[in-house]
Amino acid sequence: MKSDLEIAQSAHMEKIEDVAKKISITQDALINFGPYMAKINPKKLEKKEKEEAKLILVTAMSPTPAGEGKTTTTIGLTDALASQGKSVVACLREPSLGPVFGMKGGATGGGYAQAIPMENINLHFTGDFHAITSANNLLAALIDNHIYHGNELGIDLEAITFKRGLDMNDRSLRKVNIDNARYQYQGGFNISVASEVMAIFCLATSLDDLTYRLGEIQVAQNLDKNKSPIFAKDLKAQGAMAALLKDAFMPNLVQTLEHNPVLIHGGPFANIAHGCNSYVATQLGADMADYVVTEAGFGADLGAEKFIDIKCRQTGLKPNLIVVVATIRALKYHGGVKVEELNNEDLEALEKGFSNLERHIENCSQHFGLNLVVAINHFKTDTDEEVKLVQGKVEKLGFKAILCSHWGEGSKGAELLAKEAIDLSEKPNQFKFLYDTKDSLKSKLKTIAQTIYRAKDVMFEGDALSQLKLIEDEYAHFPVCIAKTPYSFSGDAKEIGAVSNHTLTIREIRLVRGAGFIVAICGSVMTMPGLPLKPASEGISVNSNGEIEGLS
């Protein structure tokens, strides 16, 4: 069986200008990065006169080591919609080098449902993440430079909250000592995708909005008795930061294996930030195509909730349909089966593990009010009895579960899913947010924990409650972003299935002022991850012909 990389490398690719024509984008709007990748200059586009595009959100059950396949399904569904004669574009997140070289691997789909050129997208791509990292670290350098030259703003060295960034998993950088002849303080690094600059990049609606939001980043507090906040704009940083991001802010265009357009742009972590691709790419897709298929990171309790309560709330986007991806293997894992035994039929474990998928279905349909279909991402080890069991249980909940084989068959394998998506996206829904902006921050946190995670309560430890109280008066209207393990509804990754009646423990509250939300960090979640015992980088190499091998 060919690997994902082998399939991608052997694929025929169309010139990117021919892919662009499928959504009425002409050559003069493209800035080519070789023959198969390009940035799109929105100022050179003529918006089409057409009906409002249908927005389809792809999410999933809680992730497992067995894999679920949101990106693969997003691409498979896009290809299948195109095969039905629909004008369609996929909108994906850019891969971070941290996961690429760590545990997760790349983020371009798999099998015959991939975005290509796969190796370029997963490694450097068009340099967007490097630009974001540079803009982030320019601000960090300006903070230090201001202090070095006399600290006119009176920055409290113990109250500097802005961190440096690096697009790599490196646990040794979580805390660093800034030791200068004139001052010392403790700082640290975030992985670039968890930075506030990345969150702003993905939520900004225009270059002007991007520049404004960058200036609103709170970097520290003043030494005065009121501990007045100090912002990036006080350091006159936003203009130069925006200059570094100007070209990166233009969405990137690539193609699927079946030569359909894919916009890959931006990508904050969904267990730390809001986990969605950029608004400008999603909106560009909606302007130029009739269907936009996008994804949100990790399970629906994280990615989908944040897509709706943060991205949609800030931008006005509204999904017409939500696709929840599941696999038989992942359901059995949530039923207690070990990874090495997942290929064996186990109806009892499947029945038990179904509770996880059921919880996500209930959340998406009842609490977000969206039309919904389940996509069973097929593996060859799935038995007929296992598939029948899952489909029957989903139907009892009032929805359809469609078996999809796009990994092995491309668009043909997602044809039934596409037909159901077309039908459901035409039907009205009762789209709604989970909470009101008028609710207190504490109330919002409890609403998410108790409604989506089924927690009995929220507990604040350390300085979390005092941190919350400090920002409550001025920022109570902000949405909240819970950073927790993606592997469980609780804050403990080992509590699989559909755990309930637990206590969600919040250890830290962070204000992400420029991006317009607050982050509640739970459990052991780190904003600078580490590499696993056997990182994926060990299997990646370049052969004598200059071809990359081992990328997944």
Given a contact cutoff of 8 angstroms between Cβ atoms, the answer to whether 33 and 52 are in contact is no
Given a contact cutoff of 8 angstroms between Cβ atoms, the answer to whether 416 and 455 are in contact is no
Which CATH superfamily is 129-237 part of? Domain 2, N(10)-formyltetrahydrofolate synthetase (3.30.1510.10)
CA 23 and chain centroid, separation:
24
Domain boundaries, the chain: 4-127+248-425, 129-237, 441-522
What was the pLDDT predicted at 524?
Answer: 85
What was the pLDDT predicted at 334?
Answer: 98
Given a contact cutoff of 8 angstroms between Cβ atoms, the answer to whether 115 and 254 are in contact is yes
Catalytic residue list: 70, 72, 93, 104, 270, 298, 379, 407
- Tens-place pLDDT, residues 155-190: 999 999 999 999 999 999 999 999 988 899 999 999
- Tens-place pLDDT, residues 407-442: 999 999 999 999 999 999 999 999 999 999 999 999
Q: Which CATH number fits domain 441-522: 2.40.50.100, 3.10.410.10, 3.40.50.720, 3.40.640.10?
A: 3.10.410.10
The amino acid sitting at 427 is K
What was the pLDDT predicted at 434?
Answer: 97
Three-class DSSP category at 307: helix
**CA pair distance 91, 289, nearest whole angstrom:** 11
- Tens-place pLDDT, residues 8-32: 888 999 999 999 999 999 999 999 9
Strand ranges, E, within 45-87 = 54-60
Percent of the chain at pLDDT exceeding 70: 100
- Tens-place pLDDT, residues 349-400: 999 999 999 999 999 999 999 999 999 999 999 999 999 999 999 999 999 9
Does 1 have pLDDT greater than 80? no
Confidence of residue 46 (pLDDT cuts 50, 70, 90): confident
Q: What's the whole-number mean pLDDT along residues 290-298?
A: 96
CATH architecture of 4-127+248-425: 3-Layer(aba) Sandwich (3.40)
Q: Name residues whose C-beta falls within 8 Å of residue 502's C-beta, 6 or more positions apart in sequence.
A: 453, 454, 455, 456, 489, 490, 491, 492, 495
Could you give the dihedral angle defined by the CA atoms of residues 339, 344, 347 and 352, in that order, rounded to the nearest 10 degrees? 0
Does 277 have pLDDT greater than 90? yes
Three-class DSSP category at 325: strand
Given a contact cutoff of 8 angstroms between Cβ atoms, the answer to whether 421 and 81 are in contact is yes
Does 201 have pLDDT greater than 80? yes
Confidence of residue 552 (pLDDT cuts 50, 70, 90): confident
**Average pLDDT over the chain, rounded to an integer:** 95
Percent of the chain at pLDDT exceeding 90: 91
Confidence of residue 525 (pLDDT cuts 50, 70, 90): confident
Widest CA span of the chain, in angstroms? Answer: 72
Predicted TM-score of the model (pTM): 0.96
